[in-house]
Structures are given as structure tokens and as C-alpha cells.
């Protein structure tokens, strides 16, 4: 409380400022907000700040980390769950990294469900038709989700919230996770299966695993070829889980019946910004936008009042914890998954 520690916030929008200013009344940090992403061109701005706060599309690689270190930044506080954009090996023993692991899994899961429901019943198209005085329903036919099979990849916080929604719709759920939890499967009435079976059986596949070297481009030509004809793919995880070129080919051939994308592999140049008065030079994104059965949202899965308020509070709590010394509940390091990580002993990672 009352600390005047200085934090530099990158990639901020008016809504970030609203929620962080409100939360900061309980913490009293000195916050400076900038609009730019944190990357090679902007890392120098960090001079004079002890903490930098970054978001999903900031590039926090080895080079950026060395500039932050030179600027005497002690802590990188991510205000998001995913940390695929941080070179944790480069940060290790140089700068601590904390994140917000679970602010509102409901927000993202509900958005994934919204994408599925819209794509299935084509409400995104119906909206424009009726506003234009066109009350025809030709071409808007969908299917009963009740009784169909959903495949959920990644049964962590978000995957589980989605599963309860899908159970509510009366869908059969098949799941894949590298760490299956059989007790949870029993409780929720789902079955863990191998990826090949999930691909073969699911009418709708939704991705909720983190982006890692293992999951990079997991949806590619080979995996799409194993899926049901007309499968619906939903991605609210990270863009690079899907090889977009393979998705486009799948859509063109009809193998993929619909795609709901809240993330895109090259989103950092476009998402969160207004390009309505300019043009899109990314031909792959432009092509995706031409399909009537593709619904793209601009990484807004997290965007609920509850989530923003929780993100702001947890981020400032993480920073307070850092300056108070001791254990950092939400610290991440590249060894966190390994037994050697000190976090397992309730100590800082280094």
C-alpha cells in the first residue's frame, strides 16, 4: 500500500487505463501508460521503470529482455495468462516474470461457445439480412448441437468451463489433454481419448491448450485430413495453434465446414486496432475474411468487465508481492514444469 514504485504499461487502450486506474486506488503505484507494443523499437522506453507490464502481442524476446535488463527493469508483469511471447530462458536469472493465470475462464469459454452457436445458426449473417429488410432464411440452416460430439483440446480452466456449457447443450464431449484428469472426466461425464480419435469423431473441435513447441501448428494438413467432413474448428487459444494456410485449404475444399477464430497467427499487426479506413495487406487474413463460414473476432475472449477487473487486481497484487519480497504465486520460469524449479518449494524461481 502507498508504494510509489514506477510501472510502465505497454500496448494500452482506454479500457485498460479505466480498469487499472480503478484498481490502483488500492495500491498507489505510479503508472505510465503507452500505446505502443513492447518490442525491439520500444524497449528503451523502460529506462527509469522498475516494472514493465505487457500483453499478448508484445514481443519479449532475448533482445528486448537484454534492453530491459540494461534499463534496470526487475519485473515483467504480464496482464494475460499465455506467455508464449516471452523468452523465459533469456529472462531466467535476469528478470522475474509474473502473469495472471486465470482471471475469468468463463469469459473465454463463453466466447468460444458464442462462436460455435453463431457459426452453426449463422446469426452473424441473419443480423445483416434482417437489418437490410431481407427476411429470407435460405442458406441459414444449422444443426442441433444436442447429441453431437464436441472435441475439447486442453482441459484446464477454460476447457473445463466450456465443457460445462457443452454438457448443458446436451453434447457428447471427447477431450484430449497431455495431463488427463480421470476423476474430472468421471465427474463431468466426458471421455479422454487420443487426438486421432478426437479428430475422427468430433463435429466441433475447440482449442484450449497453450501454445508451445509441441502444439505449434497442431492443426495442419495432416490433422485436418483426419477430421470429419464439415468439421467446425474454434480457436480462442493462440493463433499459431493453427497453420492458417492449411485451414484455408480445408475451407476451400469443404473439409472444414466453419471456423471461429478469436486469435490468428499474425494477429499482432491488426488485432485491437481500427483498419476500417485503410487496407489489409496480409493476404492470408484478407482471404480468411472472405469466407461466409468464418467468423473472426479480434482476441476479445477475455473481454468482460469481470475479467478486466480481475486482471487489473491480480497484476497489481503480483507486483506488490514482488516488492514485498518472498514467494511469487504467479511467477513463471522456463523450469517451472521441471522438478528443479524452486517454485515447487514455494520459493522464487531463482
Contact between 110 and ligand NAI per CB under 6 A? no
Q: CA-CA distance, 68 to 74, in Å (whole number)?
A: 8
Enter the C-alpha cell of residue 317.
497484487
Contact between 237 and ligand NAI per CB under 6 A? yes
Instruction: Please say whether the beta carbons of 287 and 259 come within 8 A.
Output: no
Contact between 238 and ligand NAI per CB under 6 A? yes
Enter the C-alpha cell of residue 341.
524449479
Among the listed ranges 59-67, 117-125, 153-161, 310-318, the one in contact with ligand NAI (CB under 6 A) is 153-161
Site for ligand NAI in 262-321 (CB under 6 A): 262-263, 299, 301-302
CB of 158 to ligand NAI, least distance (A): 3
CB of 164 to ligand NAI, least distance (A): 13
Binding mask 206-225 for ligand NAI (x = CB under 6 A): --xxxx--xx----------
Contacts of 253 (CB under 8 A, 6+ apart): none
Contact between 234 and ligand NAI per CB under 6 A? no
Q: Single out the residue of 176, 199, 270, 271 in contact with ligand NAI (rule: CB under 6 A).
A: 176
Total chain residues near ligand NAI (CB under 6 A) = 30
Among the listed ranges 22-30, 39-47, 232-240, 251-259, the one in contact with ligand NAI (CB under 6 A) is 232-240
SS3 content of the chain, % helix, strand, coil (to 5): 35, 15, 45
Among the listed ranges 28-36, 151-159, 162-170, 253-261, the one in contact with ligand NAI (CB under 6 A) is 151-159
Contact between 153 and ligand NAI per CB under 6 A? yes
Contact between 151 and ligand NAI per CB under 6 A? no
CB of 217 to ligand NAI, least distance (A): 12
Helix or strand run (H / E) with residue 172: strand 172-176
Residues 288, 206, 55: CA angle, nearest 5 degrees: 75
Instruction: Please say whether the beta carbons of 55 and 78 come within 8 A.
Output: yes
Q: For this structure, is 238 an active site residue?
A: yes
Q: For this structure, is 267 an active site residue?
A: yes
Instruction: Give Cα 98 to chain centroid, integer Å.
Output: 16
Among the listed ranges 44-52, 63-71, 202-210, 246-254, the one in contact with ligand NAI (CB under 6 A) is 202-210
Q: CA-CA distance, 225 to 200, in Å (whole number)?
A: 9
CB of 108 to ligand NAI, least distance (A): 5
Q: CA-CA distance, 162 to 283, in Å (whole number)?
A: 32
Query: For 194, what's the count of Cα atoms within 13 Å in the CB-facing half-sphere?
Result: 4
Contact between 179 and ligand NAI per CB under 6 A? yes
Q: CA-CA distance, 28 to 71, in Å (whole number)?
A: 23
Instruction: Please say whether the beta carbons of 199 and 205 come within 8 A.
Output: yes
Of the residues 111, 238, 265, 331, only one is catalytic, namely 238
**Counts for the chain of helices (H) and strands (E), in that order:** 12, 12
Contact between 159 and ligand NAI per CB under 6 A? yes
Of the residues 50, 110, 265, 267, only one is catalytic, namely 267
CB of 129 to ligand NAI, least distance (A): 28
- Among 122, 161, 112, 173, which Cα is nearest to 143's? 122
User: 3-class DSSP state for residue 152?
Assistant: strand
Site for ligand NAI in 84-103 (CB under 6 A): 102
CB of 114 to ligand NAI, least distance (A): 12
Contact between 197 and ligand NAI per CB under 6 A? no
Q: Single out the residue of 67, 94, 117, 156 in contact with ligand NAI (rule: CB under 6 A).
A: 156
Task: Identify the burial level of 189 via C-beta atoms within 10 angstroms of its C-beta, where 0-12 means exposed, 13-18 middle and 19 or more buried.
Answer: exposed
Which parts of this chain interact with ligand NAI (CB under 6 A)?
81-82, 102, 105, 108, 153-159, 176-179, 208-211, 214-215, 236-238, 262-263, 299, 301-302
Active site residues: 238, 267, 299
Amino acid at each position: 500500500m502507498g508504494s510509489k514504485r514506477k510501472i510502465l504499461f505497454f500496448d494500452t487502450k482506454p479500457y485498460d487505463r479505466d480498469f487499472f486506474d480503478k484498481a490502483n486506488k488500492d495500491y498507489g503505484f505510479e503508472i505510465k501508460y503507452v500505446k505502443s507494443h513492447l518490442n525491439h523499437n520500444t524497449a528503451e522506453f523502460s529506462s527509469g521503470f522498475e516494472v514493465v507490464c505487457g500483453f499478448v502481442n508484445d514481443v519479449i524476446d532475448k533482445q528486448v529482455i537484454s534492453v530491459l535488463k540494461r534499463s534496470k527493469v526487475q519485473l515483467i508483469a504480464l496482464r494475460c495468462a499465455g506467455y508464449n511471447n516471452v523468452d523465459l530462458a533469456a529472462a531466467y536469472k535476469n528478470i522475474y516474470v509474473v502473469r495472471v493465470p486465470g482471471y475469468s475462464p468463463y469469459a473465454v469459454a463463453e466466447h468460444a461457445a458464442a462462436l460455435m452457436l453463431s457459426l452453426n445458426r449463422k446469426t452473424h449473417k441473419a443480423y445483416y439480412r434482417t437489418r437490410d429488410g431481407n427476411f429470407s432464411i435460405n442458406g441459414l440452416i444449422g444443426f442441433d448441437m444436442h447429441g453431437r460430439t464436441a472435441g475439447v483440446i486442453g482441459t484446464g480452466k477454460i476447457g473445463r468451463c466450456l465443457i460445462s456449457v457443452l454438457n448443458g447443450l446436451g453434447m457428447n464431449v471427447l477431450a484430449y489433454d497431455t495431463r488427463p484428469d480421470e476423476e474430472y472426466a468421471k465427474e463431468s461425464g466426458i471421455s479422454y481419448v487420443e487426438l486421432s480419435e478426437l479428430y475422427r469423431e468430433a463435429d466441433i473441435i475447440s482449442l484450449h491448450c497453450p501454445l508451445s513447441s509441441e502444439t505449434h501448428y497442431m492443426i495442419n494438413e495432416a490433422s485436418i485430413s483426419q477430421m470429419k467432413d464439415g468439421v467446425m474448428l474454434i480457436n480462442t487459444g493462440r493463433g499459431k495453434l493453427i497453420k492458417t494456410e492449411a485451414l484455408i485449404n480445408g475451407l476451400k475444399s469443404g473439409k472444414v465446414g466453419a471456423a471461429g477464430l478469436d486469435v490468428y497467427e499474425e494477429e499482432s499487426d491488426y488485432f485491437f486496432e481500427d483498419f476500417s479506413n485503410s487496407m489489409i495487406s496480409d493476404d492470408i487474413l484478407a482471404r480468411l475474411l472472405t469466407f461466409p463460414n468464418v467468423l473472426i473476432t479480434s482476441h476479445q475472449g477475455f473481454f468482460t468487465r469481470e475479467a478486466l477487473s480481475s486482471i487489473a487486481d491480480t497484476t497489481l497484487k503480483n507486483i506488490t508481492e514482488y516488492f514485498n519480497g518472498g514467494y511469487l504465486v504467479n511467477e513463471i520460469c522456463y523450469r517451472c514444469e521441471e522438478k528443479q524449479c524452486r517454485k515447487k518449494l514455494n520459493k522464487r524461481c531463482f
